[in-house]
């Protein structure tokens, strides 16, 4: 007998029947729906970006590169720059220190159609004019000094491409290749780190990316660039600029090439026979007593019969120096002596500290232990004075009719100071004795306060046998002698360093006299 139960349809046999919408049959309203979706997609892809975020893409190049770009008061970055400027009009400023800022009104337009794919693009080329060639050079020098004092660098804390950047700036300023090269070579004393060294060699055209691996090959490149072997000294500057692992390896097992150059260096630094104490008389005036310091020669930076290889900072190597006779104050300048200067030059009074700070001549602790513009301890060494204040003091001495005729008051150079501290005895480092004068009648040469010198400071001065520059533009100045806190612990040849505007309780100065030509 057959079953009469109906067999249900499978799902694939089910049919969906669309209903009319707003009186329209599905065959009419469904294509319209598809068309609407397409129009919405077209709107959001082709029109909405230009409506919701109107503006233009701006490409700005400049000569030189690295100029800051400001539009409508907002910093967008440095050139070469690719940025989006919202629609509108405003002042565009493109500037770089050392160059005139280029200013113009710039209007950022908009592309309504296809702005997502083809935004309105404007390309600007800005050529900056140098403000002053010397200003550009001094800016480079001061930046270099600051960065060299921040060494060593690492993968995280990196040295910027300062040398190659200077080459680009100098070319834009119209400097000749010879002038650029001369300036770079003159600043070699600041290069004491592998990252600095790599960029320095690129700037001079000695290599494209990295120096040759072989130390001797590098030295040969530099000797050719410098047109001199400098009595074997080049190898030690190159060595100081290698990675630490390389420096340590060569220090542990010096090659014959390194040993040969070390012998050359030592032979070139042998001083002449020691001088005897000068027969010149002491000079006294205005509460000062100046002791005569004889002429002579010595190894500045002396470390002994055979110095250590310069594998770690400070990079010290002996340098032969000849010193002319001069006079040095027996004592550090006192608070009372400095107070007489302030009475004559009230612009340097502690009460005027804020104005001096604004000019960059002192720091906030200038004469901090004085009260009501008066010294707290008149007979002790003045401290909390900047290099600028010390220099202003000796300038005042020279213009106040106090200095004997035929003499000029100065801050001693680093070499003069060290020669006097050695008792004018060549390669000699006297034993420290607290409360005693040295053989030349000088007190507190290894205690009291650190003393400003007129000499600039660079970490590689002794590596490259450079006389520290004496000028008013140097970013750092050399300090000598130590203070009561570290009495007798600071070697005669040790080099302290300070920002010339800095003031602290352990830094003062003493005055020297030289004969006028």
Tell me the per-residue pLDDT of 459-478, one tens digit each, with 9 for 90 and over: 999 998 877 767 666 789 99
Nearest in space to 247 (alpha carbons), one of 313, 324, 295, 336:
313
Calculate mean pLDDT across residues 302-328. Answer: 82
Burial of 29 (0-12, 13-18, 19+ CB in 10 A): middle
Residue 200 — pLDDT band, cuts 50, 70, 90?
A: very high
Q: Is the pLDDT of residue 16 over 50?
A: yes
The CA-based angle 275-280-281, given to 5 degrees, is 140
DSSP result, 306-322: SPPPS-SSS----EEEE
Q: Is the pLDDT of residue 103 over 80?
A: yes
| CATH code, 283-515 | 3.90.1580.10
Nearest in space to 457 (alpha carbons), one of 313, 297, 278, 254:
313
Residue whose tokens read 């129009």: 39
Calculate mean pLDDT across residues 115-141. Answer: 82
What's the CA gap between 25 and 5, in Å, rounded?
37
Residue 112 — pLDDT band, cuts 50, 70, 90?
A: low
Angle at which helix 162-172 crosses helix 194-203, to 10 degrees, equals 30
Question: Structure pTM?
Answer: 0.82
Tens digit of each residue's pLDDT (9 = 90 or more) over 332-389? 999 999 999 999 999 999 999 999 999 999 999 999 999 988 999 999 999 999 999 9
Q: What is the pLDDT of residue 271?
A: 80
When comparing pLDDT for 92 and 5, which is higher? 92
Residue 289 — pLDDT band, cuts 50, 70, 90?
A: very high
Q: What is the pLDDT of residue 6?
A: 57
Q: Is the pLDDT of residue 29 over 60?
A: yes
- Residue 291 · residue 327 · CB < 8 Å: yes
- Residue 493 · residue 301 · CB < 8 Å: yes
The CA-based angle 50-53-55, given to 5 degrees, is 75
Nearest in space to 152 (alpha carbons), one of 242, 69, 60, 274:
242
Residue whose tokens read 């010294």: 375
The CATH number of 53-127, from 3.30.1340.10, 2.60.40.1120, 3.40.50.970, 3.40.640.10, is 2.60.40.1120
Q: What is the pLDDT of residue 272?
A: 75
Q: Which of 37-41, 253-257, 324-328, 428-432 has the highest mean pLDDT?
A: 324-328
Handedness of CA 130, 133, 134, 140 (dihedral sign): positive
Please tell me the chain's helix, strand, coil percentages from 3-state DSSP, rounded to the nearest 5. 35, 20, 45
Tens digit of each residue's pLDDT (9 = 90 or more) over 49-99? 555 567 778 888 998 999 999 988 899 899 999 888 888 888 999 999 889
The DSSP letter of residue 350 is G
Q: Determine how many CB atoms are found less than 10 A away from the CB of residue 177.
A: 11
CA distances from 145 to 304, 388, 498 (A): 29, 18, 12
Residue 2 — pLDDT band, cuts 50, 70, 90?
A: low
Q: What is the pLDDT of residue 334?
A: 96
Q: Is the pLDDT of residue 11 over 70?
A: no
What is the length of the chain?
A: 517
Q: Which residues contact 448 (CB under 8 A, 6 or more apart)?
A: 332, 381, 481, 483, 484, 508
Q: What is the pLDDT of residue 275?
A: 56
Strand bridging mode 55-63 / 121-127: parallel
Lowest mean pLDDT among 230-244, 265-279, 406-420: 265-279
- Residue 218 · residue 273 · CB < 8 Å: no
Q: What is the pLDDT of residue 106?
A: 86
Nearest in space to 69 (alpha carbons), one of 44, 41, 90:
90
When comparing pLDDT for 401 and 168, which is higher? 168
Tens digit of each residue's pLDDT (9 = 90 or more) over 320-329? 999 999 999 9
**Element housing 234 (H / E):** helix 234-240
Structure tokens at 84: 């989006």
Tell me what the pLDDT averaged over the chain comes to.
Answer: 87
What's the CA gap between 23 and 109, in Å, rounded?
47
What's the CA gap between 497 and 192, in Å, rounded?
16
Q: What is the pLDDT of residue 1?
A: 47
Calculate mean pLDDT across residues 417-423. Answer: 94
- Residue 490 · residue 478 · CB < 8 Å: no
Q: What is the pLDDT of residue 42?
A: 61
């Amino acid at each position: 007998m057959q079953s009469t139960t109906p067999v249900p349809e499978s799902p694939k046999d089910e049919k969906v029947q669309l209903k009319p919408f707003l009186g329209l049959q599905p065959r009419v309203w469904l294509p319209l729906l598809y068309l609407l979706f397409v129009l919405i997609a077209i709107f959001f892809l082709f029109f909405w970006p230009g409506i919701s975020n109107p503006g233009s893409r701006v490409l700005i190049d400049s000569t030189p590169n690295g100029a800051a770009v400001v539009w409508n008061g907002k910093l967008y970055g440095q050139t070469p720059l690719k940025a989006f400027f919202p629609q509108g009009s405003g002042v565009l400023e493109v500037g770089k220190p050392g160059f005139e800022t280029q200013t113009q009104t710039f209007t950022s337009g908009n592309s309504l159609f296809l702005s997502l794919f083809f935004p309105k693009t404007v390309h600007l080329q800005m050529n900056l004019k140098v403000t002053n060639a010397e200003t550009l050079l001094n800016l480079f020098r001061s930046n270099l000094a600051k960065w060299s004092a921040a060494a060593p660098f690492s993968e995280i804390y990196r040295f910027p491409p300062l040398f190659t950047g200077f080459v680009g700036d100098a070319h834009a300023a119209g400097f000749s290749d010879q002038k650029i090269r001369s300036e770079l070579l003159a600043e070699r004393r600041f290069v004491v780190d592998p990252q600095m060294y790599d960029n320095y060699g690129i700037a001079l055209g000695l290599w494209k990316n990295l120096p040759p691996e072989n130390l001797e090959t590098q030295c040969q490149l530099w000797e050719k660039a410098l047109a001199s072997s400098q009595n074997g000294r080049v190898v030690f500057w190159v060595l100081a600029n290698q990675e630490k692992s390389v420096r340590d390896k060569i220090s542990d097992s010096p090659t014959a090439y390194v040993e040969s150059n070390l012998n050359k260096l030592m032979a070139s630094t042998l001083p002449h026979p020691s001088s005897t104490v000068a027969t010149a008389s002491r000079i006294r005036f205005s509460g000062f007593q100046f002791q005569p310091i004889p002429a002579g020669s010595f190894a500045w930076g002396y470390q002994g019969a055979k110095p250590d290889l310069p594998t770690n900072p400070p990079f010290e190597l002996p340098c032969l120096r000849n010193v002319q006779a001069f006079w040095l104050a027996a004592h550090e300048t006192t608070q009372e002596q400095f107070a007489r200067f302030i009475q004559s030059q009230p612009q340097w009074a502690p009460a005027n500290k804020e104005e001096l700070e604004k000019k960059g001549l002192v720091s906030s602790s200038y004469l901090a232990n004085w009260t009501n513009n008066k010294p707290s301890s008149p007979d002790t060494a003045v401290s909390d004075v900047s290099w600028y204040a010390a220099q202003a003091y000796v300038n005042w001495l020279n213009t106040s009719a106090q200095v004997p005729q035929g003499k000029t008051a100065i801050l001693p150079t680093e070499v003069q100071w060290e020669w006097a501290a050695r008792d004018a005895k060549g390669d000699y480092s006297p034993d420290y004795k607290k409360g005693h004068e040295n053989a030349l009648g000088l007190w507190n040469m290894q205690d009291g306060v650190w003393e400003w010198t007129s000499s600039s400071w660079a970490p590689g001065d002794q590596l490259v046998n450079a006389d520290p520059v004496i000028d008013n533009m140097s970013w750092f100045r050399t300090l000598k002698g130590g203070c009561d806190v570290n009495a007798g612990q600071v070697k005669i040849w040790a080099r302290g360093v300070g920002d010339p505007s800095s003031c602290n309780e352990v830094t003062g100065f003493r005055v020297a006299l030289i004969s006028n030509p």
